[in-house]
Structure 1
Amino acid sequence: MPSRRFDGSSLRALRRSRELPQQWLADKLGVTHVTIAGWENGKRFPPFDRLPAIAEAFGLPLDELFPREGRPDLADLRCDAGYPQQATGELIGAKSHVPVSNAERGVRRLAPEYVPALARAYGVSEGDILAAQDRSFGLTPPPADVSARAPQTLAEKITYLLLHTFPNSTPPSDAQIADAINGKIGRPLLSTVAVAALRTGTPPPAEVLADIPETPVYEGLADTLGVTPLFFQSNEAVERQVLEGISLLATNGGTTDSAFYAVAARGGHRGVSPSMLARVRALVAELQENRHAGGKRP
């Protein structure tokens, strides 16, 4: 939670600049002047859900009086709307505040039917709620220069799929992913903490998977995230398999000259690197030469 910056001395200076007593602000907020004095002296801090009321009392924008760095998570949106957590059950029509509490703590996502009600109560869009929820679960969209290209690292790939593959449903949790991977391995080798490390990239995958074979890990990720295991392999490994596949098809007569040219002519196609294209073209040229000579590539 990127907390808003609260400075008691600045609050005191603002109040005094308007020649207002502490009791004035206390009456506005329904607290005692002793509480206000504690805030201004830095001995205590107001609950973050009270900051909007303080800003409103002085007629100032919340972001101006209490700036915050970073993007808000679910708890931030609630506090910005001025609601204590205990009030959220009524906001979403639930029996208690537990659904919102679980989502704010990254334990369990909000049921889809709660999202519109919470968005209305907080004065934001449903997309804002879902994005804030992702941040509560530690899922931060990659920077602009990363999102503009295809995800490269294992952490980027997992995060990309979690953010974009489940628009109308709940993404699998770290525990569910761990269960799927362990099912592929055949024994419980990968913990929920290890899956979180793969998702965030800290520590590096090589360290997390030091004693675990990669193949069942990729298969488990693929099953839970709805892609093929190939998606999680390195670019070099994928290129090697593609080249081997082209070679196998060609030597077995499983493709045609037109298919060769189609592969070789895909220059500039998004997601295909120049080095990959160069290698494909070289392989195609070699295969064609061998076929025309009546031979096969060794």
Structure 2
Amino acid sequence: MPPRQFDGSLVRAARRRRDMHQRELGELVGVSGATVARWESGKDFPKGEKLPAIATALDEPLDELFPHEGPPDLQLLRCDAGLSVAEAAEVLGASRAPVANAESGRRRLNASYIRPLAAAYGVTEEKLLAAQDRSFGVRPTPPSDDQQTAPRTIGEKINFLLQYGSTDETAMSDADIARLVNQHAPGAAITADDIKELREGAATAAPDEVRAGLADAFQVPHWLFGDDAELSPMVQEFLEAVRFIGSIRQGQVLGLAARGSEILSMKAMADINRLVGELRHKLSEVPNKE
């Protein structure tokens, strides 16, 4: 069975739409017309590496004519490259065994095979290694907190700063945030319910004065609550710094002392140094080095 879903009736319909005979399709993909007839009647199936050629000959998108579920494994990468096991092995200058064993989840590819095989399959080495993991039944690991996507919307940024940016033991409530926003930006006239809707994603837009008030409330630069589009390197670096500082506050990272920053406020820097000092005092094994 090919690694993609194969329905002979769909092949027949696509061929007829192009007024193509079975013999003509067979010539284009390197088989006889009788073989095409067996495919279309469901009596036989093409090899997986033939599917890209069939889709090309019929001028149909591969994923639409022969769909598949989930990310690719090694077999699917090879077949989508139009290579047989023997042809893939020839790329490696090896027998068929390394390719067949890796695809069946019996033995992983030798490290020296990764680069040439990725090039032959037209994918990156990272994608090839991920496909190999799937061939061995390894599921991708969910991202950790340190690998999470950076917050983009106003609500995501509020939640992010509530989790990582506060140096107080008790995080601000929606009412606290609304009060501070209105204090710093009197024209904002925002309520606790408005803040809740932003945090929960029920609302995503806010006028400039609200964005500025939020920045002042959380003591962060105004540009952090600016455009929600692609984050600039400066914004990403700032958010990673906040996440790291939050990890210190939560006791996950030790050994940092802040000396000064063009991004963080003086109060935030003082709070960082105070937190690090407290942690070093409580945990004597942490060296007091700058």
TM-score of the superposed pair, with normalisation by structure 1:
0.48
TM-score of the superposed pair, with normalisation by structure 2:
0.50
